[in-house]
Amino acid sequence: MKATIWHNPRCSKSRQALDLLREGGAEVTVVEYLKTPPTRDELARLYARAGLRPCDALRKDAPAVAGDDEALDLMARDPATIERPLVETDKGVRLARPPELVRDLL
């Protein structure tokens, strides 16, 4: 199974999710989203597939936003505001907090 993780190697939850994917036998593509940020459209697609509102996918310390469009604009402009890790497989997309949620995708 193939998986993509939008990953921050400095984040313990992101590292744990990556380890769980690898332990589960996934062929993982790692995207360090702070170096290679997703586009606004890609974020919108991922959150729609995950059944998440973009407002609910912002980091807790991100500036307040008025709605989902503003949240997507903020995340596209400042990827550090994206809650992590975000994981996608053929089975779906999960915001892997807690990291064990990636098991649903394997």
Q: Which domains does the chain have, with CATH numbers?
A: 2-105 (3.40.30.10)
Residue 37 corresponds to which tokens in the numbers above? 């940020």
Which sign, positive or negative, has the C-alpha torsion 68, 95, 76, 43?
negative
Active site residues: 11
Supply the pLDDT for residue 69: 97
**pTM for the full model?**
0.93
**What is the reported pLDDT for 98?**
95
For residue 6, which of 56, 55, 65, 75 has the smallest C-alpha distance? 75
- pLDDT score for 60: 92
Q: What is the pLDDT of residues 52-101, one digit of tens each?
A: 999 999 999 999 999 999 999 999 999 999 999 999 999 999 999 999 99
